[in-house]
Amino acid sequence: MTKFAIGIDIGGTRTKIGLVDLDQTRISEIFLTNTEKKNPDRFIRGITSGIDALMEKSKLTDSNLIGIGIGVSGFVFEDGKVDSTYGFQEFMEDYPLAAIIQKLTGLPCKVDNDARLVALGEAISGKGVGFDRVLVLTLGTGLGVGFVNRGKLDEDLPFSHMAGHMTIKDNGGKCYCGKTGCLESLVSASGLMTKANKLNWFDQNPQYQKDSQSLFEAAQSGNALAIGIIEDFIHDLKTGIANFINIYAPELVVLGGGLSKSLGPYLPQISQIEYLAPFKAYQVKTECSELGEKAGVLGAAALFIDKSKENDN
């Protein structure tokens, strides 16, 4: 019998709730809802309503459903308690998310860091298929880092979920982590917007929407100031990737998140290895994600793949 799990990716703007066929590692149905950041009751209702909608639409019964996986920003303990989301969701401090969902649904629930689950989704269903060591950088409002080795997360707990906060410059804006010049503050959408606003770029170019994608579009169109902003962005991203290469030695680096949609023209430049590699014959490939926001849903559901195999034996 085909087994399913529900994968939930709690994003900065939207929460994605998907029904995933674990045998095929594909999403059968997906439900989208706005992410509730302030009220815990509305947050939980949004999740349970989404689960109910998926179950009703798919006509599945609980016997086909192994469990619910959830990706959330921040550190998560083994029991599914969220340590903190650093203000992203005000109520999610020492928050027993897994226990709450299990009690309301009667289904097993596992919770992990969202960037790690995006990496797991990419590794088993995206660009990472066929590679053992896969590093995924999620370039969105912030910077998420996840590493997968042979289809498994590198650690049981997300101890390295703050890896995007390595300092790579002496100057630059101060990040919420307390550091100045950390990678996340330089290669995230919020970092790009901060730099553009300091240079009054949007005031000088009112024909563009006030978002990070506009900076890439303007750079491709020859806008000199936008070209400079994006060149700095690419340089900082390459420096960050070089540091991660010396930590993880990935075979593949996948660039995901909203900013990855604009990085295609820059892949040859980003892919150049200019620093000392882990070993002489080392090679790494860099790709942009094609899964998009599906990666986190697939990765969250994949927390139950081993359980599915156990049930088949």
Residues 281 and 162 occupy one common structural domain: yes
Residues 7-58 have pLDDT tens digits of 999 988 889 999 999 998 999 999 999 999 999 999 999 999 999 999 888 8
Q: Among the listed ranges 1-5, 253-257, 267-271, which one has the minimum average pLDDT value?
A: 1-5
Same domain, 139 and 284: yes
- Reported as a single tens digit per residue, the pLDDT across 216-252 is 999 999 999 999 999 999 999 999 999 999 999 999 9
pLDDT digits (tens, 9 = 90+) for 258-275: 999 999 999 999 998 888
Selection from 263, 265, 264, 272 nearest residue 245 by Cα: 272
Residues 90 and 141 in one domain: no
Can you read off the two tokens belonging to residue 98?
């897994």
Q: Could you write out the three-class secondary structure of 79-124? A: CCCEEECCCCCCCCEEECHHHHHHHHHCCCEEEEEHHHHHHHHHHH
Q: Which pLDDT tens digit goes with each residue over 67-111? A: 999 999 999 999 999 999 988 899 999 999 999 999 999 999 999
- Does residue 305 share a domain with residue 268? no
* Residues 51 and 85 reside in one and the same domain: yes
Per the document, the length of the chain is 313
* 92 and 65, same domain (yes or no): yes
137 & 205 share domain: yes
Which structural domain range is residue 53 located in?
4-119+294-312
Indicate the number of domains in the chain: 2
Task: Look at residue 125 and tell me if it is in a domain.
Answer: no
Based on the domain organization, do 299 and 263 belong to the same domain?
no
* Residue 126: inside a domain: no
210 falls within a domain: yes
